[in-house]
């Protein structure tokens, strides 16, 4: 293979597809799998592979340097709660991160990026791999949303933008103009189920990115599992921000939504209520 690129791999179907695409483009893929997060098939897909705990920076750096890697990508999801568990970190990493004022994922990752780059390893944006998964404004499903649904989605996207900017969460559940639930460390699917229990059938879900979204740090994303969670909880529609929320397994998710008569809408975020 040609140029080497490092991949820090979390969970999600996108990761294995991205590795395949990078290898197709001629890259030698050196994959660092996060224990408890990355999929079991990645080891076979990679040119070189090592599994580490989320906070073993020393082993990660030594692995990439031994493979001649100077550029890395962070791909996939890592459950946010791992940052609170001391056992996930080696002593050196824990000490380095103690001085980070706020322990949100972006703040911690920015500190990690600075540490890596000081040692000659640059963290790249995965934007070139995500482009096919970002959606333009429009209705993706056969079912057209009602006026009430569109108003709730408009409200939900604006609130989701604000909560994302505040590092609270990127997903909100809305019904009849009322914000019922806001995503926290539980993740999108659990927030949907919680909102469904509170609101009952007919709610909508909205997901948005930050005003200034650094794709190296976090990629707002939905997929087939999101639509499944929405259906199980009794939701009526899903709204996502155009150009910022990646939609993985899009064809399967839209097909499922069509079979159940729910709407999936992609919108830009406006300023007015409704």
Digit-coded pLDDT (tens) for 251-263: 999 999 999 999 9
pLDDT at 167: 86
pLDDT more than 90, % of the chain: 66
Long-range contacts of 44-51 (CB under 8 A, 24+ apart): 45/16, 45/19, 45/20, 46/7, 46/19, 47/1, 47/23
The pLDDT of 182-192, averaged and rounded, is 91
Cβ atoms of residues 210 and 177 within 8 Å: no
Half-sphere exposure for 181 (CA within 13 Å, toward CB): 26
Per-residue pLDDT reduced to its tens digit, 230-273: 999 999 999 999 999 999 999 999 999 999 999 999 999 976 54
Alpha-carbon 86 to chain mean position: 23
pLDDT at 97: 73
DSSP 181: E
Mean pLDDT (the chain, rounded): 90
Coil, strand, or helix at residue 272? coil
pLDDT at 2: 62
pLDDT at 272: 55
Per-residue pLDDT reduced to its tens digit, 14-71: 898 899 999 999 999 999 998 888 888 888 889 999 999 888 888 999 999 999 999 9
Residues 6+ away with beta carbon under 8 Å from 123: 71, 72, 73, 74, 113, 116, 117, 216
Quick check: 107 pLDDT over 80? Answer: no
pLDDT at 246: 95
Cβ-count burial 6-41 (b if 16+ within 10 Å, e if not): bbbbbbbebbbbbbeebbeeebbbbbbbbeebbbee
Domains within the chain, CATH numbers bracketed: 4-124 (3.40.50.20), 134-267 (3.40.140.80)
pLDDT at 235: 97
Per-residue pLDDT reduced to its tens digit, 58-84: 899 999 999 999 999 999 887 766 666
pLDDT at 13: 81
* φ/ψ of residue 134, rounded to 5: -90, 140
Question: Quick one: tokens of 141?
Answer: 């499903």
Cβ atoms of residues 188 and 218 within 8 Å: no
Half-sphere exposure for 32 (CA within 13 Å, toward CB): 27
Per-residue pLDDT reduced to its tens digit, 121-165: 999 999 999 999 999 999 999 999 999 999 999 999 999 999 999
């Amino acid at each position: 293979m040609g140029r080497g690129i490092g991949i820090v791999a979390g969970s999600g179907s996108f990761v294995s597809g991205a590795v395949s695409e990078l290898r197709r483009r001629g890259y030698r893929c050196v994959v660092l799998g996060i224990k408890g997060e990355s999929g079991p098939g990645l080891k076979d897909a990679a040119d070189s592979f090592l599994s580490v705990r989320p906070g073993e920076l020393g082993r990660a750096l030594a692995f990439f340097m031994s493979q001649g890697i100077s550029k890395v990508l962070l791909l996939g999801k890592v459950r946010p709660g791992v940052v609170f568990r001391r056992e996930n970190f080696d002593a050196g990493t824990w000490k380095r991160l103690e001085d980070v004022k706020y322990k949100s994922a972006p703040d911690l990752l920015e500190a990690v990026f600075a540490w890596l780059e000081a040692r000659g390893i640059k963290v790249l944006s995965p934007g070139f791999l995500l482009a096919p998964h970002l959606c333009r404004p429009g209705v993706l499903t056969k079912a057209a949303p009602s006026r009430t649904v569109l108003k709730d989605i408009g409200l939900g996207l604006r609130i989701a933008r604000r909560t994302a900017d505040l590092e609270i969460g990127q997903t909100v559940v809305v019904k009849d103009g009322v914000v019922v639930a806001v995503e926290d460390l539980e993740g999108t699917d659990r927030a949907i189920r919680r909102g469904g229990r509170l609101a009952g059938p007919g709610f909508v879900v909205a997901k948005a990115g930050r005003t200034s979204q650094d794709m190296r740090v976090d990629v707002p994303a939905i997929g087939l599992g999101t639509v499944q969670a929405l259906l199980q909880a009794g939701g009526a529609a899903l709204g996502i921000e155009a150009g910022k929320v990646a939609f993985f397994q899009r064809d399967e998710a839209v097909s499922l939504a069509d079979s159940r008569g729910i709407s999936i809408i992609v919108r830009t975020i406006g300023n007015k209520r409704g």
